Structure 1
């Protein structure tokens, strides 16, 4: 079977199957042997250039020891990958959408991110993450302590996947000054978060953090956050549009990507230079001391 055109749904399916295979400790060769196929077929599927037939998918999920609930989610994702309808955006309404976001994030070679009122997720410190989750306590009052800890552990694991030697070649992040000065949790949380920003920027050559002053004029990103994922020669870019609540929305139509890229580049250009951004973060850190 030849390579199919890579679509976002196929890419998500491939990344999910790659993660499940890795978690099961299986090689691509072993997976291919289970299907009676060449290893190149598993490579195609995991690269998002094909969706396996239902019988092959079931065989892989059983071989990887995937639990029944997650099997149903992967089957639903595969159904979308096989039946893509013409559209400009993809809305991920299936369970565990944040895990699939992390799969896309970890596979990117270049990341550009901006949030208008909070520190972008990729830069959040452990206490800041916990404080943000606590703010949702009244929204999800039935959430157990175990579920909260699971969410925090997932965030930490997600961060650990990014700033590694084989991680993204470039991460550009624009942080709104409002996010630096708005107390999330308490002053101790903010001190940790601001120090975390400075440490990340010093430690990782791939990271470029810029601060957007709160009084900047003509700011097209003011209404919402966005993240752009680039994949080099392994696929077309994808944009993620963040919302306060609701399903994950991805854009992979190239005209939409162009607009989202212009929004980010405009925001990035209007932010302070790297050295001035660092000076401002240090200043705000002292204000919280």
Structure 2
């Protein structure tokens, strides 16, 4: 079972939709049979509404599920109401980003392309602080919380069940000076240290790579159980987009594979990062 409340909520929504579609019923038909609105059924199937175990019990009895499945789904409903560790930091984690952190904690694989900034899981506290200062959208207290959350997230890569993480960064990310050159030199050194982890692969897409899919930054998250399909995440300044249809995920998977083929090998990427570090030392 997925090990974050966010992922459990998604699993529950997927299973509820599967049950309804298997019964060849619409949301309105199910809602009418249970004296609910069709929109309530839809909210439960999209994970956007409050989930009560009693609602899940009613749905399962209506669909005629086994006792075992009903108990499993009710347990998911209860667990989905728990708070993740990141939620203890309050507004230091924007609401639109909290969902991503929950999915990240449950992922078994991460494939990420960054064309503007160092991947969050590789950032030094100083680099992260500079990015948050530039946004100028947080109070002093939330600023400290945000930096702390970013640092705590990074333990994901070294835990016992760490995901297989593959990062591709554009060369411009290495040369974009955030803070000052010393900060950037230290940041690139941190990248190299993280890239030495057995579950981490790092490639750089060099300026000489030629044309490539103009996708912008994105992350593809994979999950340990087959019932939880891959998810594509893209973020903006104040919001986030999740894509999970087979077509959309397939398109981004193809884009990532193309970027991987065009990028320098891990060893060549390490050499390039060291050259840029020397430039930042001058």
Asked if TM exceeds 0.5, the reply is yes
Report the Cα distance in structure 1 between the residues aligned to 2:141 and 2:203, rounded to whole angstroms.
Answer: 35
State yes or no: 1:249 paired with 2:230.
no
Provide closer, same or farther for how the CA distance between residues 4 and 215 of structure 1 changes in structure 2, counting only shifts above 3 A: closer
- Give 2:193's aligned residue: 199
| Matched ranges for 1:140-159 at <5 A | 140=137, 143-159=138-154
In structure 2, the residue corresponding to 1:215 is in which secondary structure? helix
Contact residue 12 and residue 104 of structure 1 kept, 8 A:
no
- Give 1:84's aligned residue: none
Unaligned runs of 5+ in 2: 1-11, 18-42, 52-66, 88-92
- Give 1:74's aligned residue: none
Provide closer, same or farther for how the CA distance between residues 11 and 164 of structure 1 changes in structure 2, counting only shifts above 3 A: farther
Report the Cα distance in structure 2 between the residues aligned to 1:271 and 1:65, rounded to whole angstroms.
Answer: 39
For residues 42-98 of structure 1, what are the alpha-carbon distances to aligned partners after superposition, in whole Å with 9 as ceiling and x for unaligned?
753676xxxx4xxx79xx96xx699xxx8xxxxxxxxxxxxxxxxxxxxxxx96222
| Matched ranges for 1:87-102 at <5 A | 96-102=95-101
The counterpart of 2:171, out of the listed 177, 182, 197, is 177
Matched positions, count: 222
Provide closer, same or farther for how the CA distance between residues 105 and 174 of structure 1 changes in structure 2, counting only shifts above 3 A: same
- Give 2:73's aligned residue: 44
Larger Rg: 2
User: Which structure shows the bigger proportion of residues in helix conformation?
Assistant: 2
Report the Cα distance in structure 2 between the residues aligned to 1:65 and 1:183, rounded to whole angstroms.
Answer: 37
In structure 2, the residue corresponding to 1:5 is in which secondary structure? helix
Unaligned runs of 5+ in 1: 18-37, 71-93
Superposed CA RMSD:
3.4
Contact residue 184 and residue 190 of structure 1 kept, 8 A:
yes
Report the Cα distance in structure 2 between the residues aligned to 1:227 and 1:251, rounded to whole angstroms.
Answer: 10
Report the Cα distance in structure 1 between the residues aligned to 2:171 and 2:177, rounded to whole angstroms.
Answer: 12
Report the Cα distance in structure 2 between the residues aligned to 1:145 and 1:175, rounded to whole angstroms.
Answer: 30
Structure 1 residue 242: Cα displacement: 2.8
